[in-house]
Every structure is written in structure tokens, then in C-alpha cells.
Amino acid sequence: MSATEFAGVTKDRDRGITSKGGMYEFWTEEGAHVYLHDTDFRRLTYAPGRPPTLELEFVYDLQWTPLELAKTPVVVFRFEDVRLVEWHEDQEGHDCVATTPDAPPGQVGLFDWDGTDLFTLDAFTLSLVFHAPRAAVTVRAK
């Protein structure tokens, strides 16, 4: 199986997306340092078209936004030719979010890439496993 092709991410091997570091920390082509641990997972959009696409959106809290991303604190991953393997909603997480205003609905526990085309995302209310041969990363304003 071939490795996923990433667009919008630096080609520098020490600063790009790697299977060892997962998707948590990398630099964009423009040199912005993305550290997903300081973001909240806010949105997932799946379109089963041709090709099937999946967009994941992460947003920095104002106090944790890196200076170079102050005007563009939203990090978007767009995956193409997606094949969903597992999609699990955590009802206890949803119940907690519904009853506790301070609950972190977008907290990400894991966002890994296996070095080929398999991705795993575990958030407070969602677990997702999927294959995607192409991914693009962009940053934008809120």
C-alpha cells in the first residue's frame, strides 16, 4: 500500500507529517507551526461522492494560537478517496457534553497516521478510522 500524499505541509522531513509524530505537530508549506494538541476538533464533513471526501476542522483557542496563525486559527484537513473503516459515536461523551457546560467536546486524544494511508482519530465523543491516499491541509480565518 502506498503512502498518503500530503499537500499544504512542508516537505522538510523533520517538520512534516510522519508516522512517528502522527498528525499532532507539523509545519505548513508557509512555515506555520501547527500543534493540534492546542486545538479543539470542531467539525467533520463526509461526502460519499466521487471521490468520497472527508473534512476535519480544528480551531485554536485564542490563548493557545501561535502568533503566525493569529489571523488563520482554523486548521482544515481534506481527505480524498476516503474509505471509512470505523465510525463510533460515544454516547457517554455526548451525554457529558449535554449536561456539563465545561466538558471538552472537541478534545482530541489521538490523531495518528500509520505511514501508508490509514488514519485514526479519537476525540471526546467520536472514534474514526479511515483510509485516504490524498490529504490537503489548509489554514483559514474563523
Is the pLDDT at 106 greater than 80? The verdict is: no
Cell representation of residue 127: 472514534
**CA–CA gap between residue 105 and residue 93 (Å, rounded):** 8
Q: What is the pLDDT of residue 92?
A: 73
| Rounded-to-integer distance, Cα 90 and Cα 20, Å | 27
d(CA 2, CA 135): 13
Q: 137 φ, ψ to 5°?
A: -115, 130
* pLDDT per residue as tens digits for the range 26-64: 999 999 999 888 898 999 999 999 999 999 999 998 888
What pTM value is reported for the model? 0.89
